[in-house]
Amino acid sequence: MATNPYRVLVTGSRDWTDTDTICTALDEALDRAPDRLLVVHGGCPTGADRIAGLWAIAARVPAITYRADWKTHGRAAGPIRNREMVDAGADLALAFIKDGSRGASHTARLAEAAGIPVRRFTA
């Protein structure tokens, strides 16, 4: 019988560079659900999303990427993508917030409002 994945939503600043903090948080999530972990992130080519994506590849953990459609939605693309990630559900959200990162802070608030536990990390 298949088990549901343990979904970890990663959100964070495009400027986040502290790889160790993200890797440690994801390692802890993997320890909690070694055969079920699924990483969800926004697919930004820099910062927290990039680090989480690279961690998932190295750890051989599946990942789902929700990319913002800037061409279609313009400035609303980020918030729309954030809502989609949260609406898809998660067991835990990890928010890596640097300099008040509006997008990561927004996603963390949405996750909390949806009843998803959020761990915030700041730099």
- Please name the residue ranges forming H helices in 1-123: 19-32, 47-59, 70-73, 77-87, 102-113
Q: Assess whether pLDDT exceeds 60 at residue 60.
A: yes
Q: Beta strand 92-97 with 63-65: parallel, antiparallel or unpaired?
A: unpaired
β-bridge mates for residue 57, sequence order: none
Residues paired with residue 38 on neighbouring β-strands, in sequence order: 7
* DSSP 8-state code for residue 46: S
Look at residue 1 in the predicted model and tell me its pLDDT. 40
Sign of CA dihedral 99, 104, 109, 115: negative
Please give the pLDDT value at position 63. 98
pLDDT, tens digit, for every residue of 20-52? 999 999 999 999 999 999 999 999 999 999 999
pTM beyond 0.85: yes
What are the extents of the domains in the chain? 8-92
Which pLDDT score, from 0 to 100, does residue 100 have? 85
